[in-house]
Amino acid sequence: MADSPPPRIEVLALSGAPERCGPLVSALHRAGLGVDVASDLSSARALFFGAGGHDCLVIGHDVRPGVAAAVVQALRAVAPDLATATFGPKLVGAGSARRHARLTAFHPTSRAGTGALLRFLLGLPGRTPPE
């Protein structure tokens, strides 16, 4: 029986203004990743459970710290190993460097920011780059 490749990486992006993260979403789609975009705790929960989970929560630079903390806490209550990457607020108890990336030196829609995020996502344990 042939080994099946790991499923593609699924990302939940949290943004204070989802309409502004189009360039990042487009870049992730071009790289073969699945992306859902949420703007608050309610939409993040709905998308996360509707998709059956995501591999990584990406937090935009425009997300308020209280919203980011609430979303991380809610999703990690059901998925403790959920990877996170933040362009914005520092996350308390974010976890190991293999499961968390702090990308605050970059803008999420810049080429450098997108590249840094892709390197992190493609390095997640159990995932392979899309072909």
> How many whole angstroms separate alpha carbon 85 and alpha carbon 6?
21
CATH topology of domain 10-122: Rossmann fold (3.40.50)
For residue 93, the model assigns a pLDDT of: 61
CA angle 25, 99, 22 (to 5 degrees): 10
Domain regions of the chain by residue span: 10-122
pLDDT digits (tens, 9 = 90+) for 31-71: 999 999 999 999 999 999 999 999 999 999 999 999 999 99
**Res 127: pLDDT:** 57
C-alpha distances in Å from residue 45, one per residue of 32, 80, 110, 129? 23, 15, 27, 27
